[in-house]
Structure 1
């Protein structure tokens, strides 16, 4: 699964290609607020963990393990996560929630940058740490169906494109370029699924 081959002029491996397909399907289902997205997220995280290990992106590799754990929690939240244990609606984060998200991102970055720089042979400890911490924040917001998760993913995915080009993971760089556009679509779609006053609504979008 690790033998390289050319696909439309891009060097890739069967495992990276599989991860690509699963990741695209995951985001498409997230946009539609379909809970089966979490199953595909678990599978894509497992395969991408192996890909990132081979590229010495240890922060991203560890992130996939966290994603697998968080995905089980997110799956439950989407199905039974509101106060009535009904399907979780889309809502906006409070100011306190946004401050906590920012603080968590900063703290995660500081710890991961130190850990990766000291205990691994990665050549991009700061970049890997910053994007890993941001991805964790985005995943938690996504799990709670907070609209702002899409803002986080847009920022993170733009920077990931540059990182994966640097690492020679061209198909994954293309994937994250697609993720930027898909996150923008997700942001608009989730806004439409909310009430005019920003209150929660259960409407599905992009059917």
Structure 2
């Protein structure tokens, strides 16, 4: 599964290609607020965990394990909304939610980057920053917070550069597509979100 092959001029592996397709399916289902996205997220994260391990992106590898755990939680959240709702609604962050998300991203970055400096990775700070941001985005997605797409736009743009640096060209293309899909998701979810910001924060 790790044998190199050429696809449209890009060097890749069968495992990276499978992960690519699963990840695209996940985001497409997320845009449509389809709960089956979480199943594809779990499988995709497991596959990408192996891809990132082989590329010494240990932060991203560990992130996939966290993604799997959060995906089970997110799947449950989408299927079991509170207050008697039939579906979990799209809501927006309050100021408190923005501050909590920013603080969580910063704290995660400092901790993860520090841990990665003890490994043989050559990009501990970039890996740590994007890993922390991805965790914030995943938690916001799990609660159907509109701002999750803003986080993903920022993170995915930066990931393109990181994956080009690591010669994961197909994955770099994937994250370029993710940027476009995140913009689409932001616009689609914005239509479904209430006009006033949600007062509840990541509950």
For Structure 1 versus Structure 2, the TM-score category normalised by the shorter chain is over 0.9
The residue number in structure 2 matching 1:114 is 114
Match runs of 1:1-207 below 5 Å: 1-84=1-84, 86-118=86-118, 120-195=119-194, 197-198=195-196
TM-score, normalising length: structure 2: 0.95
| Alignment partners' CA distance in 2, 1:67 and 1:85 | 26
RMSD: 1.1
Post-superposition offset of 1:193: 1.6
Kept in 2: contact 1:82–1:89 (CA 8 A): no
Kept in 1: contact 2:78–2:142 (CA 8 A): yes
Post-superposition offset of 1:198: 4.1
Count matched residues: 198
The residue number in structure 2 matching 1:203 is none
Identify the range of structure 1 (82-91 vs 176-185) with the bigger mean alpha-carbon deviation.
82-91
Q: Please list the CA deviations of residues 39-69 of structure 1 after superposition, one character each: whole Å capped at 9, or x if unmatched.
A: 0000000000000000000000000000000
Kept in 1: contact 2:146–2:193 (CA 8 A): no
Kept in 1: contact 2:153–2:182 (CA 8 A): yes
| Alignment partners' CA distance in 2, 1:107 and 1:176 | 24
| Alignment partners' CA distance in 2, 1:160 and 1:82 | 34
Unaligned runs of 5+ in 1: 201-207
Post-superposition offset of 1:94: 1.0
| Alignment partners' CA distance in 2, 1:105 and 1:155 | 12
Unaligned runs of 5+ in 2: 199-203
Residue 6 of structure 1 aligns to a residue whose secondary structure is strand
